[in-house]
Structure 1
């Protein structure tokens, strides 16, 4: 029986790879070398590619021809959440921040009133190919930091405020897409790629 990525795998291939994903694949490659499926040279080559990979699909290609028991678990590195409930983030007379390794749901509703919030998507895992953050900022603000290569579609409105969200100048077609909607009333919503 051939080891081929399943249709479900291909649905996840566009998602950004995390350090945890890379560690899992590194373990699979190590086992493949110990069982004689990979020579030391092949193992080194794949390990180099592992740390250059940006998406789950690129990681899956490194193990698709290996017969390793852990491969099915490693191939499904990121699974869509079973719940489609939106994520609600609120900052009233205060602040909140999302950063590090966190899951960006299909829809995030953000409300800032006399407060501020910051979303750093640099190391985030995305629930879908296209995610949406809907921001309402009233006398408050929100800042969004996106990874290099991510496409951003800004559909917000600023009234006595600003709504200025930008993605990468050269988006990666395999990267997730971020849609930012909402309203900035006497407030501001800004976003730009991390340099």
Structure 2
């Protein structure tokens, strides 16, 4: 029965778990940038579990973190300055997603053409203190999700579409400064502030 496992179709969640292990390996210096980009591309295009397994076979198994991230993402110094693991995403009649633990580059460009994109910064690290996220949506949509403690500016515009700036606002002391810009043509770009699930649970216990 185990011989059949490699032919089992991989899920989006399984691809994302492999991608997160690759990002960790890059941050730890186990992979160089060329190896990381090659394996990451292979992870997102893998069709079966058998194609995913070799990508992390020579990497240590993930372990649970013993040091929790402070509530509200206030540990900013430890989250700024890591090498970028992604500088862009492209979707054409499909979608792209950047979520979980990853490091956003100084300039990240997201393009969605008749498709959708997701850029989630709630658990992300930042290559620099100043970050620019450029979003271009053509008959498609891009959603940018940020934690409430992040400083965010929104300067994009929409033509026969919308560029939502409701997620703009000041951050806590020491937070990176993120500027979301670009345009939406017959499409939409949304920027929203939203807590992580873990932060919500922690706040409920404190009440």
Same fold (TM over 0.5): yes
Q: How does 1:162-181 map to 2 (within 5 A)?
A: 162-167=162-167, 169=169, 171-181=171-181
1:125 CA displacement: 0.5
After superposition, what is the alpha-carbon deviation per residue over 1:79-129, rounded to whole angstroms, capped at 9, x for unaligned? 442x8x971210000011111000111001111000000111110001111
Task: Compute the TM-score of the two structures, normalised by the length of structure 2.
Answer: 0.56
1:168 to 1:113, Cα distance in 2 relative to 1, 3 A: closer
Q: How does 1:49-88 map to 2 (within 5 A)?
A: 51=70, 54-57=74-77, 79-81=81-83, 87-88=87-88
After superposition, what is the alpha-carbon deviation per residue over 1:55-90, rounded to whole angstroms, capped at 9, x for unaligned? 154x7xxxxxxxxxxxxxxxxx86442x8x971210
Matched, 1:141 2:163: no
Matched, 1:192 2:192: yes
Aligned to 2:107: 107
- C-alpha separation between the residues in 1 aligned to 2:101 and 2:86? 18
**Residue correspondences, number:** 131
- C-alpha separation between the residues in 2 aligned to 1:161 and 1:168? 19
1:55 to 1:79, Cα distance in 2 relative to 1, 3 A: same
Larger Rg: 1
Structure (1 or 2) with the greater helix fraction: 2
- C-alpha separation between the residues in 2 aligned to 1:173 and 1:181? 23
- C-alpha separation between the residues in 2 aligned to 1:128 and 1:79? 5
1:184 to 1:102, Cα distance in 2 relative to 1, 3 A: same
Secondary structure at the counterpart of residue 128 of structure 2: coil
Higher RCO structure (Cα 8 Å, ≥6 apart):
1
Runs of 4+ residues deviating >4 angstroms: 50-53
After superposition, what is the alpha-carbon deviation per residue over 1:118-175, rounded to whole angstroms, capped at 9, x for unaligned? 1111100011111111011000010011012111111101000000133365521211
RMSD of aligned C-alpha atoms? 2.8
Question: Is the CA contact (8 Å cut-off) linking 2:111 and 2:136 kept in structure 1?
Answer: yes
Aligned to 2:40: none
- C-alpha separation between the residues in 1 aligned to 2:145 and 2:107? 17
1:191 to 1:181, Cα distance in 2 relative to 1, 3 A: same
